[in-house]
Amino acid sequence: MADSFKHQDYTVGWVCALPIEQTAAWAMLDEKHPRLASPKGDDNAYMLGSIGGHNIVIACLPKGRIGVTSASTVVTQMVSTFTAIRFALMVGIGGGIPSKVSLGDVVVSTPTPEFPGVVQWDLGKTGTRGFRRTGALSPPPASLLSAISRLESAHEIEGSRIEEFLEELKQKHPRLTSKYCKSAMLQDWVFPADYPHVENAPTCQDCDLSLAEMRTSDEPRIHYGLIASGNQVVKSAQLRDELCVSLGGGVLCIEMEAAGLMNKIPTLAVRGICDYADSHKNKDWQPYAAAVAAAFSKELLLDIQPAEVSNEQTVKDLVEAMTTGVSETREQVRRIERQIESQHDREILDWLSPTGYGSQQTELLRRRQPGTGQWFLNHENYGHWLNEPGATLFCPGIPGAGKTMLAALIIDDMSRRYETLPDVAVAYVYCDYQRASEQTTENVLSSLLRQLVSPLPHTINATRDLYGRHANQQTRPSLEEILRVLHDAVKYYSRCFIIMDALDELEPMCRRSVLSEIFEFQARSGANILATARHITDIKESFKGAAVIEISAAHGDVLAFLSAQRSTLPCAADEVICAEITAAITKSIGGMFLLARLYLDSLKNKDTRKQIRAALARFTAASSPHGTASSTVYDTAYEDAMERIEMQPRKDRAKQIIMWITCARRPLTIKELQYALAVEAESGSEALDEDNIPTLDMSICAGLVTVEGRTGIVRFIHFTTQEYFRRAAPKWFPNAEQLIVSTCLAYLSYKLPEEFFEANLDLISRHDLVPYPFYPYSVNYWVDHARLAQHHSSVLQFLKDHQRRGPENGAAPVGLKEVSFHT
């Protein structure tokens, strides 16, 4: 008998975590085989036998060593010794989800749409968005899944054979009957999740049983689905329920070993439910739960022909097949690793500074008239700045002179000059009046840091450390930390150029702080600094002693622009009037490139010489006798643009767009604006009518509005446009605040689905919440608009209605700040 079986005769592994599980498995064998000597390095103690013609190896984890890691070690040694094993059964006990299973039931791991039957719930990493599970486990082998399907059908017709095998256990092993078979002593109490076990009480008899549900069942039920496996015992009902929710609600059982086998060997987990993974956990049900799990496993094996198992690849063959392909896929693996690392680095860069200026740079270059700005690139001071390390160049100009467009040209010129020199860094910032609240000193410097660390792989190491220190705690780096990493990163470059456009659009305190840090950075690193700004005293004082290039619309650039745009005019074929247009505009714009564009746009709806000449006369009258634009020249141009809007069929929509851009408390995306315009505040509807969402064409806004390509943010074409409409809002939009607050409140009054409230509350700070894109703006800013509105009846009615409805009836959380109205 001792020589009748060899290691290579065993095809099925049966792994247990506890001695009671091993006992139950041993008791289910049809035949017991003598032990075989294990090779050196294999510390497992095996039991051998057979069920239905399958030769089985039973291994138990070392006493006191449970969990995923120990299970992985045991199965690795098992398949190394028993080389013909095709798959493993992980059979034993587990904690059940009381809403789905009862004590004494059996749970079998089978694939779900999201998981392969078992998920390691505690494997992953914590990042800025919370805990994220990583890695994937392998599903059970196809032969076992097919057998389960057959068995499930058979159970519906004939019932399970578990009770039959438990009766056999009584006959063959009477000493096990009292522990491993069901008795009246086993009571199934289910306590509420918020009721803990009485401290130090040996049983639940000291708990308040009036709060518990007493369950009874004649025979164990079998459940198929998801098992959560981890390295720690779950003895908290709250943790159990949170874990179930985080995994999509499909968990049936929680245990500690199955995940350790899944990627080592094709595995099916079978668990008898012995407790509810809460503080009331005890050992009373464990032997019986182990027995029913073993009985189901026996029934499953009896349904599979030994020939079916023999047709499966051995674990050894699977490993060898994988090993054979290693040399062929090594470079592919390295490439994937590099991609993963690259994705991680992009995540770090986005965390460091979500603000990028690439799309703005692309949009500016798209709008630039080819050939313009060459005068700046040929300027002596620009050439000196390029060639002298540590040089500073200040480029002031009047509003609308084309400073930002020239900044884009400079950035493009430098990027082309140094694109083949990886040790030369070019970083830039477009300061923006619409993002003044976002553009803090830390954010501006973080954006520059992002640009310095992204080109060279080794420069990001210090940023990885910074991310590691803050991401898990969901904190942001301090200004000192940013500066330290910034100074470290610049050491990798032989030259560093920093361009800052429109410094005047930063808040004064932020601007002073940024310039102080930038000049300190320049002193330590030898970086070159170029800045554009309006003629503002404190900025000019900051750049005192720096080389200067005054920015103004060059005569040749204006001529090139007008010539290129001539075809857009109704009078394009009239040489005489086109010459008059060119002469009048170049004379009256006073160095303001933006004014040339506004004047030209104002002529596009004029088709007679008389109309055109009257407009040209207004242009000339608006400028000073010396040909420089007066302080109100932009107001005149924007008034004219609004008059043109008033004359067109879609004037109401255009004025709505301009009103929202003017009065919104932060920049809106085009999707937010579309949903805002779709709201019918007076309709009393409980939901937004999506058939009312408009398709927005910004051409109806007389050239005053543009949409950023990457971000989708809707904005005015220039700072002066925003300044004008904020001054003129009472004239053009006298009821703007009341209209906006009514829109916000109507949106917040819509009945929303329950699952919306289960989302993380920090979603209300995002601009892209789908499918409720206008919700973040409404909830954050309706109070601000309400304070500015003249009438508050709609606000008071909204608050009364919201309190009456409550979230349980679909009322949206309204983010209510401290509200103080003068009524």
Closest alpha carbon to 218 in 247, 193, 182, 248: 182
Percentage of the chain exceeding pLDDT 70: 85
Mean pLDDT of all residues in 226-255: 87
pLDDT(472) > 90: no
Least confident range of 1-10, 125-134, 138-147, 315-324 = 125-134
Task: Write out pLDDT tens, residues 595-604.
Answer: 888 888 888 8
Kindly state the average pLDDT of the residues 439-465.
81
What is the tens place of the pLDDT at every residue in 384-426?
999 999 999 999 988 888 899 999 999 999 999 998 888 899 9
Phi-psi region of 659 (alpha: psi -120 to 50; beta: other; left: phi over 0): alpha
Residue 244 confidence (pLDDT) above 50: yes
Whether residue 585 is predicted with pLDDT greater than 80 in this model: the reply is yes
Residue partners of 523: CB distance under 8 A and separation at least 6: none
User: Cβ(79)–Cβ(315) under 8 Å?
Assistant: yes
Interval 527-580: pLDDT, tens: 999 999 988 899 999 999 999 999 988 888 888 888 888 888 888 888 888 888
| Amino acid of residue 618 | R
Token digits of residue 797: 């009615």
Q: Which residue has the higher pLDDT, 374 or 805?
A: 374
CA distance 386 to 700: 43
Q: Is the pLDDT of residue 354 over 60?
A: yes
Q: In this structure, which topology does domain 350-548 adopt according to CATH?
A: Rossmann fold (3.40.50)
All residues at 6 or more sequence positions from 85 whose CB lies less than 8 Å from its CB, including other chains? 10, 11, 12, 13, 57, 78, 79, 265, 314, 315
pLDDT of residue 525: 92
Tokens for 718? Answer: 């220039």
Tell me which residue of 630, 668, 658, 657 sits closest to 722, measured CA to CA.
Answer: 658
- pLDDT reading at 345 higher than 80: no
Tell me what the mean pLDDT of segment 779-797 comes to: 76
Three-state DSSP at 637 gives helix
pLDDT at 175: 94
CATH superfamily of domain region 7-312 = Nucleoside phosphorylase domain (3.40.50.1580)
Show the tokens assigned to 146: 């097919």
Domain spans of the chain, in order of start: 7-312, 350-548, 555-646, 651-809
User: Mean pLDDT, the chain, as a whole number?
Assistant: 83
The pLDDT of residue 822: 39
* pLDDT over threshold 50, residue 326: no
Angstrom distance (rounded) from CA 799 to CA 812: 12
Angstrom distances, CA of residue 722 to CA of 284, 553, 716, 739: 74, 21, 6, 19
How confident is the model at residue 800, as a pLDDT?
60
Task: Determine the 3-state secondary structure of 348 from DSSP.
Answer: helix
Listed in sequence order, the residues at least 6 apart from 608 whose beta carbon sits closer than 8 Å to its beta carbon are none
Is the pLDDT at 750 greater than 90? The verdict is no
Residue 310 scores a pLDDT above 50: yes
Q: Cα(662)–Cα(656) distance, rounded to whole angstroms?
A: 10
Average pLDDT over residues 191-215: 87
What is the structure's pLDDT at 753?
61
Q: Where are the alpha helices (DSSP H) in 473-507?
A: 479-490
Please write the tens of the pLDDT for every residue from 699-743.
Answer: 898 888 888 776 788 988 888 888 889 888 899 999 899 899 889
- Intrachain domains 7-312 and 350-548 with the same fold: yes
Number of neighbours of residue 81 by Cβ within 10 angstroms? 19
Segments in 303-425 forming alpha helices (H)? 306-310, 315-324, 326-352, 358-367, 374-377, 380-387, 403-417
> At residue 823, does pLDDT exceed 50?
no
CA–CA gap between residue 448 and residue 482 (Å, rounded):
10
**DSSP letter string over 278-297?**
STT--STTHHHHHHHHHHHH
- Residue 802 predicted with pLDDT over 70: no
pLDDT band at 229 (very low <50, low <70, confident <90, very high): confident
Q: Residues of 199-221 as b/e, b for ≥16 C-beta within 10 angstroms?
A: eeeeebeebeeeebeeeeeeebb
Residue 217 has a pLDDT of 81
User: Which segment of 5-9, 144-148, 480-484, 566-570 scores lowest on mean pLDDT?
Assistant: 566-570
More confident residue, 675 or 686: 675
pLDDT at position 816 over 60? no
